[in-house]
Amino acid sequence: AQTVTQSQPEMSVQEAETVTLSCTYDTSESDYYLFWYKQPPSRQMILVIRQEAYKQQNATENRFSVNFQKAAKSFSLKISDSQLGDAAMYFCAYAYYNNNDMRFGAGTRLTVKP
Amino acid sequence: EAGVAQSPRYKIIEKRQSVAFWCNPISGHATLYWYQQILGQGPKLLIQFQNNGVVDDSQLPKDRFSAERLKGVDSTLKIQPAKLEDSAVYLCASSSTTGSGSSYNEQFFGPGTRLTVL
């Protein structure tokens, strides 16, 4: 079964600094997607960034980038120039290529200090 | 474009009572998902619909949970009778269809319903 592990329950970063959130996963599949979702106190899950496993190039979205290490089954999120609005729960997630049964990690709570 | 709508936002009930949650997906989205998110955990998929048919309900506790999407649009998730361990946020999400091959269709989430069972 696919599992997603986030080993950092909480992280803190100074405003304008850079922070990296860690995620590892376990799967026997070769074709899949990985995601980072942001969940603010409003509870609405917002997709931050997505990585297709067949792509070697790491995905980037403005201040957000990932370090995808397929052999190591590692998928970390780097947030550059952190802003107060980045404070939220961040969930790493895995989905098989047909998008069924998305599996989420337990989440990392990110605090941004002014 | 309107997002995924859910109601109610909050619900408090006594154990052994019944409760129902409603979800209206984004217009035109064929696939609808219900997730359970227990405090301190990530969301867990309960059931997935493709139009009005069930694609996956392997993690739905069928002795007390039921869900329907009769006309392939909005959906209702019911718990009867509720237990203390059902206290959680219930998230609904929708996507235009399930992905196939290298195609991916983003899941859009609603604001969730926070259920407290006393």
The pLDDT, as a whole number, for residue A69 is: 95
Residues of A whose CB is below 8 A from B33:
102
Distance (Å, whole) CA A68 – CA B30: 31
Instruction: Find where tokens 């997935």 sit.
Output: B48
**pLDDT at position B103, please?**
60
Looking up tokens 């009778």 gives B81
Please tell me the distance from the alpha carbon of residue A74 to that of residue B18, in angstroms, as a whole number.
42
CA A101 to chain centre: 17
Task: Nearest chain A residue to B59 by CA: give it.
Answer: A101
Helix, strand or coil for residue A86? helix
- How confident is the model at residue B72, as a pLDDT? 84
Supply φ then ψ for residue B86, to 5 degrees.
-80, -5
Chain B positions touching A52 (Cβ under 8 A) are 102, 104
Residue A104 has a pLDDT of 94
- More reliable by pLDDT, A90 or A100: A90
How wide is the angle at C-alpha B29 spanned by C-alphas B26 and B34, nearest 5°? 80
- The per-residue pLDDT for range B21-74, each reduced to its tens digit, is 999 999 999 999 999 999 989 999 999 999 889 988 999 999 999 999 988 899
C-alpha to C-alpha distance for B79 and B98, rounded to whole angstroms: 26
Whether residue A100 is predicted with pLDDT greater than 80 in this model: the reply is no
Residues in chain A with CB shorter than 8 Å from the CB of B104 are 33, 50, 52, 97, 99
